[in-house]
């Protein structure tokens, strides 16, 4: 199959409350560069022909545009308002996606994603319809039940990352469904539409930067590269 057109829906909807800062975490500086800018750069370095759709609160459009300008991406990014839920935010972004393309849906705060993972997501989604990065978990896990907890077999559990990557026709069709509270990520929306999803190996360092300690960890990971 020849190369398909590529869209990256970068979800940067957070309000930053968990970070204890006024500025949402996707604009915090990591080694002198905003996290959102880093996310844009790694995708653009992997696929220079990618089209970016950045979903974020309208009041932060200016910061978003600054990050996009400074990232040096070659195709101007689109900016779209976030919604009340992740489903709504992503659906708003998907309005700009074309048929017969590959769509990456990525958390802006996972700026440590590697080019290798983005490439693997692309080729697997071309081949299998979707590619969802997942890693094993190291700690024991328990499920909270009424008044007690129950251990669950951690060898059967996978921790899900982004970019969740799909052929656009599958993703657009799935997002035509009315919202349901079980739609916690794109994979759940696609499954609810009756399509199987396809897990691929994620990366331990592809962390979600949501707390001050994560920011420290991300700095250390960058130093180690």
Q: Applying CB under 8 A, which of residues 17, 21, 159, 176 lies at the interface with a copy of itself?
A: 159
Site membership for a copy of itself, residue 63 (CB under 8 A): no
Site membership for a copy of itself, residue 188 (CB under 8 A): yes
Q: How many angstroms separate the CA atoms of 82 and 168, rounded?
A: 20
Q: Which stretch in 1-9, 43-51, 74-82, 179-187 sits in contact with a copy of itself by CB under 8 A?
A: 179-187
Q: How far is CA 209 from CA 21, 97, 111, 190, 195, in A?
A: 13, 27, 8, 26, 30
Site membership for a copy of itself, residue 180 (CB under 8 A): no
Least Cβ distance, residue 208 to a copy of itself (angstroms): 6
Of 74 and 146, which CB lies nearer to a copy of itself in the complex structure? 146
Q: How many angstroms separate the CA atoms of 140 and 166, rounded?
A: 31
Site membership for a copy of itself, residue 223 (CB under 8 A): yes
By the 10 Å C-beta count (0-12 exposed, 13-18 middle, 19+ buried), 217 is classed as middle
**∠ CA 17-23-25 to the nearest 5 degrees?**
65
Of 128 and 158, which CB lies nearer to a copy of itself in the complex structure? 158
Of 115 and 142, which CB lies nearer to a copy of itself in the complex structure? 142
Of 66 and 141, which CB lies nearer to a copy of itself in the complex structure? 141
Site membership for a copy of itself, residue 221 (CB under 8 A): yes
Applying CB under 8 A, the site for a copy of itself has a residue count of 43
Site membership for a copy of itself, residue 160 (CB under 8 A): yes
**∠ CA 74-113-159 to the nearest 5 degrees?**
140
Site membership for a copy of itself, residue 178 (CB under 8 A): no
Provide the binding-site residues for a copy of itself, judged by CB under 8 A.
Answer: 134, 137-145, 148-149, 151-152, 154, 156-161, 182, 184-185, 187-188, 191, 196-197, 199, 204-205, 208, 210-211, 213, 216-217, 219-221, 223-224
């Amino acid at each position: 199959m020849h190369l398909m057109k590529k869209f990256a829906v970068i979800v940067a909807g957070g309000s930053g409350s968990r970070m204890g800062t006024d500025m949402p975490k996707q604009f915090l500086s990591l080694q002198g560069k905003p996290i959102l800018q880093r996310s844009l750069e790694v995708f653009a370095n992997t696929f220079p022909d990618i089209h970016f759709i950045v979903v974020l609160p309208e009041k932060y459009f200016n910061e978003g545009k600054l990050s996009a300008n400074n990232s040096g991406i070659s195709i101007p990014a689109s900016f779209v308002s976030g919604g009340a839920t992740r489903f709504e935010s992503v659906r708003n972004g998907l309005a700009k996606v074309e048929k017969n393309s590959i769509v990456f849906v990525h958390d802006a705060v996972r700026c440590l994603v590697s080019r290798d993972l983005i490439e693997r997501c692309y080729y697997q989604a071309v081949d299998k319809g979707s590619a969802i990065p997942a890693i094993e978990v190291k700690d024991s896990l328990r499920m909270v039940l009424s008044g007690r907890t129950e251990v669950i077999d951690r060898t059967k559990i996978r921790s899900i990352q982004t970019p969740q990557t799909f052929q656009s026709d599958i993703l657009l069709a799935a997002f035509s469904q009315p919202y349901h509270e079980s739609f916690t990520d794109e994979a759940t929306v696609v499954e609810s539409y009756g399509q199987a999803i396809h897990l691929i190996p994620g990366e331990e360092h592809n962390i979600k930067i949501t707390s001050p300690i994560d920011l420290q960890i991300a700095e250390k990971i960058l130093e180690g590269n």
